[in-house]
């Protein structure tokens, strides 16, 4: 599979089929940040669908091989907790060692954030399930770098794709984000399959065009903080 647009299209259809993405413009979701959203993605559902997860992981390997190179990594790292199973499946496909990164030091023993081991200078790919504002990615990357890794790439199954400042910040920190699909891809797939009616398509499109304004107009915060 060489066309990233077709990869995104197929990934989006898979996420819709297993109900990992939900559309509720009439009763918006309120996230922990306080932001209101007509859409919600739960990539943790993927672990319960063997065929879907295998296809997505194969797509991920193909994407990374094309965008980063077939021998770009020495170790695969999963971010606690949602990234751990996906990192394990990716590590198997790449035939590479795996580690995982804690959100915080565990508070006893070595008090480490990294579980597993790698050599100093190892090129580590960070794997998580999704990316919203990129904050957790930077925290995990910092922990890996403090442990001696070279971490210049992160992979997610799903990126919101509507907060450009987060991608810019990752790039400023020397990290390239690779994602199979975004909300724009999912919206196109939902429209293509007739999954949503015209009114819901319009509502979601309005959110994607200006998420902060949509949130403020639907009972949520206009921005984090």
pLDDT tens, position by position, 15-52: 999 999 999 999 999 988 788 999 999 999 999 999 99
Length, in residues, of the chain:
225
pLDDT tens, position by position, 110-141: 658 999 999 999 999 999 999 986 667 999 99
Give the whole-number percent of the chain exceeding pLDDT 90. 81
Give me the residue spans of the domains in the chain.
4-217
Instruction: Taking the CA atoms of 147, 148, 154 and 157 in sequence, report the sign of the dihedral they define.
Output: negative
**Cα–Cα dist 162/160, whole Å:** 6
**Cα–Cα dist 166/60, whole Å:** 21
| Alpha carbon distance, N-terminus to C-terminus of the chain | 41
Quote the mean pLDDT of the chain. 92
DSSP 8-state assignment for residue 5? H
The model carries a pTM of 0.92
DSSP 8-state assignment for residue 46? G
**Cα–Cα dist 215/135, whole Å:** 20
| Number of continuous H segments (helices) and E segments (strands) in the chain | 8, 10
At which residue do the structure tokens 């200078």 appear?
A: 121
Chain-centre distance for alpha carbon 173: 18
Q: Note if the bond before 81 is cis, omega within 30 degrees.
A: yes
CATH number, domain 4-217: 3.40.50.2020
């Amino acid at each position: 599979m060489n066309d990233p647009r077709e990869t995104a299209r197929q990934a989006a259809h898979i996420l819709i089929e297993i109900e990992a993405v939900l559309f509720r413009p009439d009763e918006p979701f309120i996230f922990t940040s306080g932001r209101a959203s007509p859409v919600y993605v739960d990539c943790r559902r993927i672990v319960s669908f063997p065929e879907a997860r295998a296809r997505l992981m194969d797509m991920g390997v193909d994407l990374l091989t094309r965008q980063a190179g077939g021998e770009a990594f020495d170790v695969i790292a999963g971010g606690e907790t949602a990234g751990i199973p996906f990192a394990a499946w990716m590590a198997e496909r790449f035939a590479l060692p795996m580690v995982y990164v804690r959100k915080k030091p565990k508070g006893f023993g070595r008090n480490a954030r990294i579980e597993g081991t790698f050599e100093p200078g190892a090129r580590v790919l960070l794997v998580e399930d999704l990316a919203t504002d990129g904050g957790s990615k930077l925290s995990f990357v910092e922990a890996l770098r403090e442990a001696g890794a070279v971490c210049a790439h992160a992979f997610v199954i799903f990126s919101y794709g509507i907060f450009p400042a987060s991608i810019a910040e990752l790039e400023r920190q020397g990290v390239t984000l690779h994602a199979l699909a975004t909300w724009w891809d999912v919206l196109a797939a939902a429209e293509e399959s007739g999954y949503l009616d015209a009114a819901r398509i319009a509502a979601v499109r309005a959110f994607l065009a200006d998420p902060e304004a949509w949130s403020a107009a639907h009972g949520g915060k206009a921005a984090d903080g």
